[in-house]
Structure 1
């Protein structure tokens, strides 16, 4: 009977270790998914900011080109 009990104890211990290992891996995987979601959200926010800066830069470039054109016309009329 002692041998049978030792087998059951060993089996319970193996099941417990297996369960703990699975839980540990699952927690790591869950943490990876959470991190991935945060990274995706930050990436989308950064892309929106880049698009906004790009639009602003295009407006500044257009204003700069318009100013250059006006200055060239005025400068030519002086000569």
Structure 2
């Protein structure tokens, strides 16, 4: 089984490729790896304060993979945040 660091790298690679489904699956594997390592205790929420977005303003961590698959705008936001790439 891969470590959370390895799964995070796979998630970043999927984001860079622009593959929403692969990114969502990689994020799910990352979350599972964190739980196996005993690092999944908190319940953080991703919050966006920008108005007029096509995704919810507060997204619980466990719903991020679903939102990645469903919403291209949210995928692009995560891609910019995680890979630190400018568009």
Calculate the TM-score normalised by the size of structure 2.
0.24
Q: Which has the higher strand share?
A: 2
Higher relative contact order (CA 8 A, sep 6+): 2
Please say which structure displays the higher CA radius of gyration. 1
